[in-house]
Chain A
Amino acid sequence: MPDGALLRLEALDAYYGRSHVLQGVSLSVESASVVALLGRNGAGKSTTLKAIMGIVAPAGGSIRFDGEAIHHLASHRIARRGIAYVPEDRGIFASLTVEEHLSLTLPRAVTRGPSSKEAIYEQFPVLAERRRHRGNELSGGEQQMLAIARALTQSPRLLILDEPTEGLAPIVIESIAGIVHSLKGAGLTMLLVEQNYPFAVGLSERVYVLGKGRVRWEGSPAALEASPEVAATWLGV
């Protein structure tokens, strides 16, 4: 690990049946930084995240976390290395209460520290009010908060977020953005997929633009702002 990247994807290939969805994707996420992965619908953003989590098996290339190859590992082993995942559909369990969602990954009742339930309720007061409610009784915004909160119970070293603001009301987006900004402030490393361009650009240190399964552009948010043709071609903004 000569360069200190926490996560490094190299020439990643992935297929759904015959369709070649990821065609040699390479990217890296430095420790304590936020990386945004942008692109149009169907570009392969979610698939990239699923490949990292071992949900989609890569057909070629490598994924290294903290210098060790993880692309051959089962999903739960990848998560145990310290990667937490908030999927696009939020992955909330309909029949589990908020409290149960936050207890799933805590074998021993963790009562102290930033990943304890109490600390998380402090950070997400909405969830504290709803602790006895089941997943299917929560609003979209509450589900999104719960998905992030649940990820935090894993004390992750890397948090992966797939479109956390998608389909939410502006006021809810604001509070989600506030939470993600405070996580960044606390030094958490994040890989963020977003279609909400201003949010992503305002948060990240580095941007990758994905188009039709390939990385089409990479650079700083400022450089992206200065290249309107990239945004026009690959993001449609």
Chain B
Amino acid sequence: MLLDPEFLIVQTLNGLQLSALLFLLSIGLSVVFGLINFINLAHGTLFMLGAYFALSAARAFDSFWLVLLVAPVGVAVVGGLLYLVLLRHMQRADPMKQVLVTFGLIFVGLESVMIVWGPLPHTIDVPALLAGSSSVLGQVYPTYRLFIIALGLAVFLLLYLGLERTRLGAIVRAGVDNRTMVAALGIDIGLVFFLVFCLGCGLAGLAGVVAAPVFSIFPGMDMSVLILALIVVVLGGPGSLKGAGLGSLIIGIADTYGQVLVPELARVTIYALMALILIFKPAGLVPVRSGH
């Protein structure tokens, strides 16, 4: 089966599609963790919220492109409010408290979507423009899934340019390295951090929006991706864009092949892979901190 080119092409594309979603989801988690050592377990909830917002937005607007814009912005606003009323006050709390509070938020999110959208699964249509199939290396593959891969890649490149070529990007990199020093230079790192947090939430929402036409939308759809995203963050090295990209690629492909080749051991292969990499690279694949 492994040597069948048809199988290889399709599964690799499936893997890349999962990688793209994981990247959109994990990059916010990773940079936030890198900036303030804060692990927001409710990050997956924002992914789910993105999908539900897309559901409602798709009913309100005809244009998928409008949905693609509006729903993530909505999620970013929710994330921003969450930060201002709750998470901001927890930055100095001990990690156990952070875990408990953000873990609690997962259930609040779950209940909320059940109240608003009901317990049953929903689906939304693939936008007409991307509905068909395309040929990749002679293999037919859904165009929409290719779009997800391209979107992941485009976001990666945009973030890369933003981080490497702008002053704000330099401030974010400096903040991941040594937040105290950035503040001592007269830069309001709290404000910069807030913007980054909202952007990360928006990207998690974007992942939910683009995932919505492929997977069904249901309360709890965030759980399995959250775990994969957490693995990506640890694996890639918290705070690193390249790490999140590389980690997503490895986990997306490994999980996809694991599911089809050894379905009984699907998730075990991922954990084993993570453990193996961390033995050789304890700070993640792309460690960014110089030790503060």
Residues of A within 8 A of B (CB): 53-55, 74-76, 79-80, 84-85, 87, 89, 91, 93-96, 100, 103-105, 107, 135-136, 150, 154
Q: Which positions 174-198 of chain B face chain A at CB distance < 8 Å?
A: 174, 177-178, 180-190
Tell me whether A154 and B290 are in contact in the complex, defined as CB-CB below 8 angstroms, given that A75-B180, A107-B167 are known contacts.
no
A75 to B185 alpha-carbon distance, docked (Å): 8
Give the residues in chain A near B25, CB-CB below 8 Å.
Answer: none
Q: Which residue of B lies closest to A103 (CB)?
A: B167
Asked if B146 CB lies within 8 Å of chain A CBs, one says no
Give the residues in chain A near B167, CB-CB below 8 Å.
Answer: 103-104, 107
Q: Which positions 264-292 of chain B face chain A at CB distance < 8 Å?
A: 288-290, 292
The number of residues on chain B lying at the interface, defined by a beta carbon within 8 Å of a beta carbon of chain A, is 22
The answer to whether B181 and A105 have CB atoms under 8 Å apart is: no
Min C-beta distance of A104 to chain B, whole Å: 6
Q: Which residue of A lies closest to B287 (CB)?
A: A94
A95 to B237 alpha-carbon distance, docked (Å): 14
A105 to B180 alpha-carbon distance, docked (Å): 15
Chain A CB count within 10 A is highest, among B170, B181, B188, B290, for B181
Asked if B145 CB lies within 8 Å of chain A CBs, one says no
Q: Which residue of A lies closest to B171 (CB)?
A: A104
A154 to B190 alpha-carbon distance, docked (Å): 19
The 6 closest A-B pairs by CB, nearest first: A79-B186, A91-B181, A94-B290, A75-B183, A93-B174, A80-B186
A80 to B188 alpha-carbon distance, docked (Å): 10
Candidates B171, B181, B190; contact of A87 at CB < 8 Å: B181
A88 to B60 alpha-carbon distance, docked (Å): 58
Chain B CB count within 10 A is highest, among A53, A93, A154, for A93
A134 to B189 alpha-carbon distance, docked (Å): 21
The answer to whether A93 and B173 have CB atoms under 8 Å apart is: yes
The answer to whether A93 and B180 have CB atoms under 8 Å apart is: no
Give the residues in chain B near A105, CB-CB below 8 Å.
Answer: 185-187
